[in-house]
Amino acid sequence: MPNSAAIAFAVFDEPINDYKGFCVSRLIHDFYELDPAKTGFYGGGGLDARFDWTPIGFAGGALPPSALPPGTPRWGKEFKQALHHNFTRTLEIFCHGSSLPVETNSFSLDPNVKDAWGLPALRMTYRDHPNDLKMMEWMRDRALEILDAAGARTKWANPVEEQQLAVHLLGTCRMGNDPKTSVINPDHRAHDLPNLFLCDGSSLVTSGRGQPTMTIEALAFRAADRITALAKRGDLSS
């Protein structure tokens, strides 16, 4: 599971210089808990105002229609003028939320593709659940409403589509006591490989409704304490 995602952009009349300071300057959790009876979908999430573009990234990322308003020239003098004008005036709202755990989404060894050492390459199989897409469409519309209320001169959003690029990869290595239904035990230790400890987001059984970094950090600290305790007891394999 990754986090579901949608993005909305706006350009303002005056410079807002959102490229300065923290990458994420504002965060809204008003939609963290939503009523499926009212929305027609399960889940929720957050909206964060960000501008995580460098100048070169802003120019390169604008080549496919995204960070520049639709209809902006993508080459020549007018393109450079748009980059110069919009860089300090653009605000991005990133929508992130639940990604339902679906059994068909998985990691496996590719039966055909090999890596540089002739070993089977890692293959990710993933498809967004229709619920995730419906939720992101709803969140995107809220982001556009916020940008409109903030006085944006122009605003737009990329279409909500099935993700082809995923960040915050989570799941596939559930934590539990039963080796038949989990990969690691409560000490973060793999059932089948005693000296293997997983300290990332793979033990999460849901993507949650927010960015998972702090949860992963907490799990890593917890795993370190467990590994230290096991080592002191002599319970690590030599």
Closest CA to 209 of 22, 27, 49, 24: 27
108 sits in which H/E element: strand 106-114
User: DSSP string spanning 124-167?
Assistant: EE----HHHHHHHHHHHHHHHHHHHHTT-SEEEE------SS--
- Selected catalytic residue, list 29, 168, 188, 191: 168
Measure the CA–CA gap between 67 and 193, rounded to whole angstroms.
Answer: 46
- Is 168 one of the annotated active-site residues of the chain? yes
The length of the chain in residues reads: 238
Give the C-alpha separation, 207 to 136, whole Å. 14
Which helix (H) or strand (E) element contains residue 93?
Answer: strand 90-97
Burial 128-158 (b: 16+ CB within 10 A, else e): bbebbbbbbebbbebbbebbeeeebeebbbe
Active-site residue list: 168
